[in-house]
Structure 1
Amino acid sequence: MTTEVVHNVESLVNEVKAEVVKWRRYLHENPEVSFQEENTSNFVYETLNSFGNLEVSRPTKTSVMARLIGEQPGKVLAIRADMDALPIQEENTFEFVSKKPGVMHACGHDGHTAILLGTAKILSSLKAQVKGEVRFLFQHAEETLPGGAEAMVQAGVMDGVDLVIGEHLWSPIELGKIGIGYGPVMASMDTFYITIQGKGGHAAMPHQTIDSITIGTQVVNNLQQIVARNIDPIDPVVLSVTKFIGGTTHNVIPDTVEIVGTTRTLNPDVRESLPKRMEEIIKGITMAHQATYTFKYDFGYRPVVNDQAVTSVVEELARKVVGEENVVPFRPTMGGEDFSAYQQKAPGTFFYVGAGNAAKGITYPHHHPKFTVDEDSFEIALKMFVEAVCKFNL
C-alpha cells in the first residue's frame, strides 16, 4: 500500500461524495424492479464509461461489470452492489421520491449502486498504481428469486477472482457504526408449495367429504413441530406458512387447499434435511385422512457465510474508518441475500454500514413504504471500499 494513497483516501472520497448523493437521488426517483432494470443498468453503464480506464461490459441483460486492470500482477478483488427496487408504493415526502407508482427503493440498493459508482470513479484515476484487478459488479434482481447473482456467476464475472466483498446500508444500525459478522450472517431462503386434495361437499354433511380445510390446518400445525422437536435448538430455523387458500363460500367444504410458505436456516445440513421431514409429515397426515397431496420445494439463496480471513481484514479496515468503538458485532439475520452465490466461487465477506439516524427520523425498517437511509453513510461505505482496494491491490 502506498503512503500517498493512504493519506489521500479522505480527500479522494470528499471529491466524489456529493456526486454519489446526486446519483443515489436520481436512482431513487427512477426505480426498477427485479429483472426490469434496463434504464438503471444503462445509466450505470454510461456513467462507468465516462470515467475512463475501465473495461465495461454487460454480463446479463440488466447487469453491468467494470474491470480496472492494473499494470502489475496481483490479486483480483470483486466488489458487488445490487440495483433493483421493490413493488412498494412510496410514502416518503422528500423531494426525490419515486416517480414510478407502486415501485420504490425500499432497501438501500440505490445507495449501494451510487456508492460503487463513486468507488469506481475514485479508483479509475489510480490505474497506474493498481496491482492485479478490481472488478465492480452491478447486479440485477437481488430481491426476486432466482436472483441475479447466480446468473452473473454463470456469465463468468467471478472467473479468476481471489476474494469478494459487499456491503449493505443497514437502517437498524445507527449512522457511524459498521457491523461485522463471522461465519453465517444471513440465512438460506427457500419456498414450499403444498396442495391438499380432498373431496368436497355440503358443509352440513361433512361425513360425505374428505375435508381439505381440517386436513390442511393439521398439516400447518404439525409442520411447526419440525422446528420445535426435530431440530437442535442451537440451530436457528424458521418455518413460516404465509398463504392458506381454500373454499369459496360458507356452506361448501372445498376439494382442495393450497399452502405456501418459506423456510430459513443458517446451517446448510439442516437446510437439506427440511424438505424430507416436511414431506414425511404431509404424507402421514393426508394418508390418515384418505386425502392426497402435492409438495414442491424450491431451494432459493444459500446462507451468506463470511470467510474468517477476509472478514478479519475488513474488520481491521472498519476500525480504521470509524474507530474501534464503532465496530459492532453483527447479529445474524434470517433474511436472505444472494451475495452467497459469489461466495461459492471465492472467499468473501458481507458487512453492514449503519444508515439509521433517529435524530433525523430515519428509523423505518427495510421494505417499509417510508424507508430511507442517512446519506452521510455513503462516505463511510466509500472509505471502506477504497481502503479495501488499498489493502489488497495497491
Structure 2
Amino acid sequence: QFNDKLPLFIFAWGLDPLKAVNKTSYNQAIQTLNHHREDIIYNNASVVIWVSPIVYADLSEMAPDFMDWHTFVDFSFSDEIPYLIKQEQHYRQLLTDPDLPLILRQDFDNQLRSVRQRLKQIRIRKNASQYEYDVFIHYAVEDYSFASNLAYHLRLRALSVYFDWDYPEDGVNPQQYDEAIENSKKMISVWSPSYFDQPSVLEIAVRFVNTNHEIRTMNRPYIPILFRQCTPSPLFNQIPIIDFTNEDDFYIQLYNVIRALDIDTPFLDMDTSFMEYQAEGIDLYATNHSNQFINDIGKIFASLGFFVKRNVTFQDEHIDLLIEQKSIVMSVQFVVKCFTSFVDVAEFDQIVSLKKQSMYQYIVVSLKRVCSKMCFPFLKNKTLNV
C-alpha cells in the first residue's frame, strides 16, 4: 500500500479493542504485522506498536524472536509511585499550616517520613547504579514555583529528583549542593534573569560545566531549561536548551526533558484521551486546527525522539508544530501541518507554496482523508510527507 515508498515510522495501535470485537480480524492483523516486519525493518522504517501485555503475549507466541525487533521499550504502568507522590505533597501542604495542633503535626510528620522512606526504597531498588538520584534541579529562589512543579511532574513519571523539599526545615547549604551534584546522574538548571543575576546561584552551574568534560556531548549531563527570557553567560554557548517560555507548551517540553534525561522509568504517565474520543462519542477536536489535536500529535513525535516546538514564526509564517531530529552530524527540521478535517486541493496548493519558500521539510497529518492530488506522485518527488 505504500507503493514502494515507506514512511519514516509507522505508529500502530488498536489491536486490543480489535481482539474484543473480532477475533478473526485480530489474528489476521497480527499475522500480517509479523509477515511484513522484515520488509519494514530492512527499509529503515521505525515501527511503534502500542499493545497491552495480553496482545504482547500473543505476538510473542506467534513470533518467539519478537524481542529482537531492533529496540523494544516496555511502558508499564504503576499506581504506587504517583499515589505516594501525591500523598507526600498532601502532607507537606498540611504541615505549612502555622495553627496546626501539635499532636496532628507530629502525626502528619510521621506520615510524611513514612511516605518518603517508601519512595526512597523504590528509588534505590530502581537505581542499580552509582547515582542515588536521576536528576538534580537547580534554580533561583524566585523561580521556586515553576521548579517545584517541574520536579513534581518528573517524580510522577518515576524519576528520582533531588530537590529542595528534601530539606524543608533547614534549606540547602553549599555542602548539600555538592552532595546533590555528586549523587545525581544529571543536572537541570532553570534559567531566568534571577538565575544569572545572583553570583552564588550561578556559581553552582559554572562549577558543574567547568568540571564535566561531557557537557556538550549527546549524553547531555547538563540540561538548561529556559523559563524566562534572559542572556546566559558565554560559558553556556552551544549547550542545547529546552524552551519553557510558552506556558501552553509545558507538557510537550516536559517530554523533551524526559527524553534528554534518557533514563528508563518503570512507567509513563500519558494522557490517552486522544485515543478514546471516537469510542466515547466526544469531539475533542472541534476545529480544523484544534490545539488539542496539535498537542496530541506533538506528544507522539516527542515520544518517538523528536524535539518539539509549538507556535513558531518563520518569515511571517505561523507554524503550529515544528519538530527536529538531531544527531551528532546534523539536524533536520519538519513543519507538521495538522488537520482534523478533509484536506482539500486549495489547502494542498497553499502548503506546496509554503514549502517552496521554506527551508523546512513538511509533514501533513489529517484525521480524515487528503485530496488525491496530495498522494503518491508528490510523495515520489518528496514534495510532502503525508
TM over 0.5: no
Q: Which has the higher contact order (CA 8 A, sep 6+)?
A: 1
Relative to its length, the structure with more helix (as a share) is 2
Output the TM-score relative to the length of structure 2.
0.24
Output the TM-score relative to the length of structure 1.
0.24
